Amino acid sequence: MKFLVTGGTGFIGSHVSERLLRDGNRVVIVDDFNDFYDPAIKQRNLARIQAVGRVKLHTADIVDKAAMDRVFAAEKFDAIIHLAARAGVRPSIEQPLLYTQTNVTGTMNLLECARAAGIRKFVFASSSSVYGINSKIPFSESDPIFKPISPYAATKLAGEALCHTYHHLYGMDMTCLRFFTVYGPSQRPDLAIHKFARLIAAGKPIEIFGDGSTRRDYTFIDDIVEGIMACVRGAFGYEIFNLGNSHTVELRQLVGLIESALGRKAIVERRPEQPGDVPVTFADVSKARRMLGYDPKTKIEQGIGKFVEWFQRPS
């Protein structure tokens, strides 16, 4: 099969692109190499992908409809895995218009291109952020999600709604995946585990917002990739799946695990809780287990060890 992977040189996208190539598929990547973090990191990810197999790259912004039209005119795809997005809760509060343009308009552009090209299979990367401050734990796909508390969460919720619309109107096979705090080798430098490891290793202070009791459902990248591959293999009409580890870890416990793996103690600076942050994320993955055969295998202790092993490897 021939896949379009948007954001294919990013953290999750590069792992997905590698896996598709290893499975014998053809891969086309669209990525704009923006400066949200150092574009050289994405270039290194691209080199890692290219070491696995031949991949075609289009350097373009999904917000640019004319550019997307050119990509779809030049290529014929069997399926789209849409991972490109502006990510992060706190930056979205600072730049809500940018997040809306990329995550909503960009998604609409891809849906329109897919519809016009007759592409039926579309996998959309959503986020656990859509649950907001959910009153029920663990979070289930059937929970009401109409109270997002950040622009980022709202844009992901809008993306899910657009996908449903295109399934309803045009019969496209739409799968929306709510990722829960993905981590692992090649993780973005702005994300907590990578940032903490970098600062602790350098003997610099880390910022802890709140009292350290917030809990996250940290999910190792290999498990996320397995869930995405299961979606690619099946046909679901329109479905939403949680992809998480279904186990929560307190922030202070996470710091302790990173300290142990690095063999260094953290210098902690306490900060007030941040707007847009949620106290807990916790995935009910029973639907994904039942329909996808999804079975997360990497416990946080193993995953942090694998991340630190990658982090300490000479670049």
pLDDT digits 0-9 by tens, 145-194: 888 889 999 999 999 999 999 999 999 999 999 999 999 999 999 899 99
User: Is residue 269 one of the residues assigned to a domain?
Assistant: no
CATH number at residue 33: 3.40.50.720
Tell me whether strands 249-250 and 182-183 are parallel, antiparallel or unpaired. unpaired
Q: What are phi and psi of 156, to 5 degrees?
A: -70, -40
Q: Which H or E run contains 246?
A: none
**Of 131, 152, 218, 238, which residue is the catalytic one?**
152
152 is catalytic: yes
User: Is residue 35 one of the residues assigned to a domain?
Assistant: yes
Give the per-residue pLDDT at 277.
74
| Whole-model pTM over 0.85 | yes
Tell me the average confidence (pLDDT) per consecutive run of 10 residues in the chain, 315 residues long.
97 98 98 92 96 96 98 96 94 95 98 97 96 88 89 96 98 97 94 95 92 91 98 95 96 95 94 79 96 96 96 84
Give the per-residue pLDDT at 274.
77
User: Is residue 64 one of the residues assigned to a domain?
Assistant: yes
User: Is residue 313 one of the residues assigned to a domain?
Assistant: no
Strand (E) positions, the chain?
Answer: 2-6, 26-31, 55-59, 79-82, 121-127, 173-179, 182-183, 205-209, 215-216, 219-220, 238-243, 249-250, 267-271
Give the per-residue pLDDT at 276.
65
- The DSSP bridge partners found for residue 205 are 267
Question: Domain limits at 65?
Answer: 2-182+220-246+283-296
Q: What are phi and psi of 28, to 5 degrees?
A: -120, 130
Closest C-alpha to 15, from 230, 225, 232: 225
Residue partners of 102: CB distance under 8 A and separation at least 6: 61, 62, 63, 84, 85, 86, 155
User: Is residue 311 one of the residues assigned to a domain?
Assistant: no
Give the per-residue pLDDT at 212.
83
User: Is residue 102 one of the residues assigned to a domain?
Assistant: yes
Is-cis flag, bond preceding 138, omega within 30? yes
Query: Considering its fold, how many domains does the chain have in total?
Result: 1
- The DSSP bridge partners found for residue 242 are 178
Tokens of 233: 């293999």
User: Is residue 212 one of the residues assigned to a domain?
Assistant: no
